[in-house]
Structure 1
Amino acid sequence: MAFSKTLVWVLLLVAGNVSAALVVGAPALETRSHWDEPAFGPCGNPVLSRTAAYLTFWCVSGDIVVGDDNDRSDVFLLDRSTQGVQRVSVDSLQMDYRFDSGGGVPSDDGREVLFISYGPLDPILPWKYHDNGIGNAFLRDVVTNTTSLVGQDHMGAPRLSGTVLAAADFSADEVVFASTDNLLGGEDINGPFSYDIYIRNWRSGRLELISGADDVVQGDCGSGNTAILSDDGRYVVFDSCSANLTSDNPDGVVNLFIHDRFTGEKRRLTRPWHGGEFSYRWLDYVIGAGSRKIMAGRYVAFSSFGTEFVKDMSPDSANPNSYLIDIRTGGIELISRAWDGSPAALGGSNIDMSADGRYIAFASRSSDILPDPGPTPAIYVKDRWTGEIVNASASLGPMHPAHVADLDLSDDGSTLAFAWRYSDTAAAPYSGRTLIYTVSINGAPIEPVVPMPVPSTSVIVRLSAAALLLLTGIGWLSRRRGSTQ
């Protein structure tokens, strides 16, 4: 018995704290009325700051803050440490309008929020501009209580096509947005309904075309209206059907591309597992949510209806699936797998990940993600370092079958936020409501069974100590055996 304990002691010392247990906390309701009841809703699009100190979301109901009587969706900023909440989709005179707003991204310190609104929240916008249902990207400073239009062209003017917020880098004062207009001026070569991706510095006004064949020429087929930005601001990932971005994309085929802002180089990221080309032209991509999700330019999470990314996917699958692509190697990993390793029967969607690529969150209607699935549809958290998966929404019961859950995983991996629509048969007052919840994620290393101080973390010292302990244990066991003969 003593020899076994010695071996366990040695193995724990050599291995160190490399094991981890995935623990997901109970869902905490974040969308409450100003009288501290569950908000009437519906609410959606939760986005966390990088360390989860702040949360933005939209809600249609007027019960989040006092005085919200415009009967439209508004964007709110929640300080999660104080539970203080404020409406940010107002102009610099604190006026609201009967236009919808949504899609906010908070800064790390909670001072600024980028968001989308269809309202005339900046006087730079022309009179009657928004009567045509045009949305734009705005910046709200909650300290100075000012709201300014950041979705502008190279001349600093708004365009009739508007802009769609995609990502943000508050440390560099940069916003990533999409527009169906050529914001650099000149002919719009990919047509009036095709998006292009731009980055604009809202301090200097500098505007970059990201999704073009070069800094000036647009893509010949247009791009989607979503993109993600690396934490250092160097890389942008977007989807496009343009054939003139790289030399290896067939005309009219949608793929993911990565743009290096330092070198100007673009690379195609998505390819079929068999090494040829996709057998179909149009692939739907939903790139991972959040504002900064590429770890050192390495991982990108996305969902797609495509069935040729991995070898064991059935070509007859009619469901979206969740994937992770390694930009360095080109390898694509299927995240939405069943507990036995096969592709999940009903796939997965709305994937997001922590900035280090360790934690993955996704939604799925499939009941085979876990051996004991619990209520489904559900939202799952996976630890890629250990392979563990947890049903993060189990205590809420089954998600409404018609709901597609918005979710966002904080960059530091500490917190998951998601929109949750209750079933119509849920108990009052939750029946049918769509609310925002957060759960904490703890993958802390498992403590050693036998505590033991380690004088040095160097590999040589640790291995030497382990060897000494092993020899000591063997010698002790030999002496004990000899004394009993």
Structure 2
Amino acid sequence: MAVAICAVTVVLPGAASAEPTAVAGNRGAGVERISVAADGTGADDNSVGASITPDGRHIVFSSSARNLTPDGTTGGDRVYVRDQRTGQTKRIGSYSPLQSPVITGDGAYVAYPVQWMNGDRIRQYQVSTGATASANCSAHSCNQPSLSADGRSIALVILFRQPSSGQRIEVQGWNGTVQTVANLHHTHSSRPSISGDGRSVAYQDGQTEDVFVWDRTSGTASGPVEGPTTGATFVQLSDDGSKVVYLSGSDTHVHDVRLGTAQLVPNVRGVAIDPTGRYLLYAPHHTNGPSLTLRDLQTGTEEIVSNQPASARTDAVSAGGRDVVFQSTADDIVPGDTNGKSDVFVRHFF
């Protein structure tokens, strides 16, 4: 079925554990390196910025390595999708990403901003065919894409330079619809995050340090979710739209959209939440312990993702907390890691 984004350029047809052991593929618990060549050797340059689909099958990341696919590249960062079921890695597009790529929940589409002649553009790619489309940015720059589960809706930020600086957060649909989420009179990052069904968008007003949730049906935003007197930094909206993760001071808060209440996770920095809103990935503020930990918000139990120095981004946790993707320069997470570069890993819990 051929569908298109508005004004597209081309039609798009338990308890804490010790450092895990390595595994081949996703057969059982453990950790494996994702940024590898077809022969299993490590990437020959840095790989970063990974996200995983809810079912854990597809992982998207960027890398300046040239040996991840047989065709290779001549240098510069490129975007890759790893299919965990087939063990194949595919390069997506020929442009260098300006921000980390995002992937739809079904693994069918990838989007990321690229440098363009008259301003940055967001390019969206169909993974199976390589067909492309560009979001409608008019004569302005756009960035910070977030995709719905099927890719039919994309939340993005359009930046205005003239006559005065500012931004507009929009949701654009394949059916040609364009809805304004918010107009902000500054260029601080707003980090829009769209729910899987495309109905909700959470974002921050980086100037006032407030977090809001916009409802597509009513066309209105609620918030600030953290209250009127507290400063907050937005992290992520869960894929089901039920939870909003934000930071305030040295603590992480998980806001329940339906109940209007928040669960406090003290003295940690929330990094990502799984699609169901139950599992929180966080990093401690101190350095004398695990660098990444996954917490079950219902039971309070935790699992260590990595004891070695590591980092992760949003959309790093698959549904039910089964898998977590992260990046690290450590050379002792898996055997044979001798490339001396930043690699992408996935931690399987079962």
TM superposition score category, shorter chain reference: 0.7 to 0.9
1:227 aligned partner: 192
Query: Does 2:101 correspond to 1:107?
Result: no
Give the root-mean-square deviation of aligned CA atoms.
3.0
- Deviation sequence 1:123-170 (CA, Å, 0-9, x none): xxxxxx17xxx4321111233332221x214xxxx42x3211331115
Q: 1:277 aligns with which of 199, 224, 229?
A: 229
- Deviation sequence 1:31-85 (CA, Å, 0-9, x none): 1024321113311111111211111100012121123333111000111101111
After superposition, the Cα gap between the structure-2 partners of 1:166 and 1:206, relative to the gap in structure 1 and judged at 3 Å, is same
Q: How many Å separate the matches in 1 of 2:197 and 2:16?
A: 28
Q: Which has the larger helix fraction? A: 1
1:59-74 equivalence runs, <5 A: 59-74=63-78
Classify the secondary structure of the residue corresponding to 1:226: coil
Q: Is the 8 A contact 1:180 1:195 kept in 2?
A: yes
Query: Does 2:156 correspond to 1:200?
Result: no
One-letter amino acid of the counterpart of residue 201, structure 2? V
- Deviation sequence 1:152-205 (CA, Å, 0-9, x none): 14xxxx42x3211331115361111112139xxxx86xx32x33211111x333
1:409 aligned partner: 317
2:203 aligned partner: 238
Post-superposition shift, 1:101?
Answer: 5.3
One-letter amino acid of the counterpart of residue 441, structure 1? F
Q: Is the 8 A contact 2:328 2:342 kept in 1?
A: yes
Q: How many Å separate the matches in 1 of 2:224 and 2:44?
A: 42
Classify the secondary structure of the residue corresponding to 1:392: strand
Aligned length: 325
Q: 1:301 aligns with which of 245, 263, 279?
A: 245
Structure 1 residues not aligned, in runs of 5+: 1-19, 91-96, 121-128, 212-217, 242-251, 308-319, 338-342, 443-485
1:463 aligned partner: none
1:361 aligned partner: 281
After superposition, the Cα gap between the structure-2 partners of 1:22 and 1:51, relative to the gap in structure 1 and judged at 3 Å, is farther
Query: Does 2:263 correspond to 1:259?
Result: no
Query: Does 2:255 correspond to 1:325?
Result: yes
Structure 2 residues not aligned, in runs of 5+: 1-13, 21-28
After superposition, the Cα gap between the structure-2 partners of 1:406 and 1:422, relative to the gap in structure 1 and judged at 3 Å, is farther
Q: How many Å separate the matches in 2 of 1:102 and 1:277?
A: 32
Q: How many Å separate the matches in 2 of 1:240 and 1:41?
A: 36
Q: How many Å separate the matches in 2 of 1:112 and 1:100?
A: 15
After superposition, the Cα gap between the structure-2 partners of 1:89 and 1:364, relative to the gap in structure 1 and judged at 3 Å, is farther
Point out which structure has higher relative CO (alpha carbons under 8 A, 6+ apart).
2
One-letter amino acid of the counterpart of residue 224, structure 2? L
Q: 2:120 aligns with which of 118, 135, 159?
A: 135
Q: 1:47 aligns with which of 41, 51, 58?
A: 51
After superposition, the Cα gap between the structure-2 partners of 1:298 and 1:405, relative to the gap in structure 1 and judged at 3 Å, is closer
Instruction: Give the TM-score taking structure 1 as reference length.
Output: 0.60
2:223 aligned partner: 268
After superposition, the Cα gap between the structure-2 partners of 1:110 and 1:325, relative to the gap in structure 1 and judged at 3 Å, is closer
Post-superposition shift, 1:225?
Answer: 3.6
1:457 aligned partner: none
Post-superposition shift, 1:381?
Answer: 0.7
Q: How many Å separate the matches in 1 of 2:185 and 2:313?
A: 31
Q: Which has the larger strand fraction? A: 2
One-letter amino acid of the counterpart of residue 147, structure 1? T
1:65-84 equivalence runs, <5 A: 65-84=69-88
Query: How many percent identity over aligned positions?
Result: 14
> Which of these two proteins has the greater Rg computed from alpha carbons?
1
Q: How many Å separate the matches in 2 of 1:365 and 1:277?
A: 24
- Deviation sequence 1:293-342 (CA, Å, 0-9, x none): 154x431113x3x33xxxxxxxxxxxx5432112234333232x4xxxxx
1:174 aligned partner: 153
Instruction: Give the TM-score taking structure 2 as reference length.
Output: 0.81
Q: 2:347 aligns with which of 433, 439, 443?
A: 439
Q: How many Å separate the matches in 2 of 1:258 and 1:34?
A: 42
After superposition, the Cα gap between the structure-2 partners of 1:328 and 1:44, relative to the gap in structure 1 and judged at 3 Å, is same
After superposition, the Cα gap between the structure-2 partners of 1:172 and 1:82, relative to the gap in structure 1 and judged at 3 Å, is closer
1:20-59 equivalence runs, <5 A: 25-59=29-63
Q: How many Å separate the matches in 2 of 1:223 and 1:210?
A: 16
After superposition, the Cα gap between the structure-2 partners of 1:172 and 1:105, relative to the gap in structure 1 and judged at 3 Å, is closer
Q: How many Å separate the matches in 2 of 1:69 and 1:261?
A: 41
Q: Is the 8 A contact 1:422 1:431 kept in 2?
A: no
2:143 aligned partner: 164
- Deviation sequence 1:403-445 (CA, Å, 0-9, x none): 6443511244321111122279x99744752111111234xxx
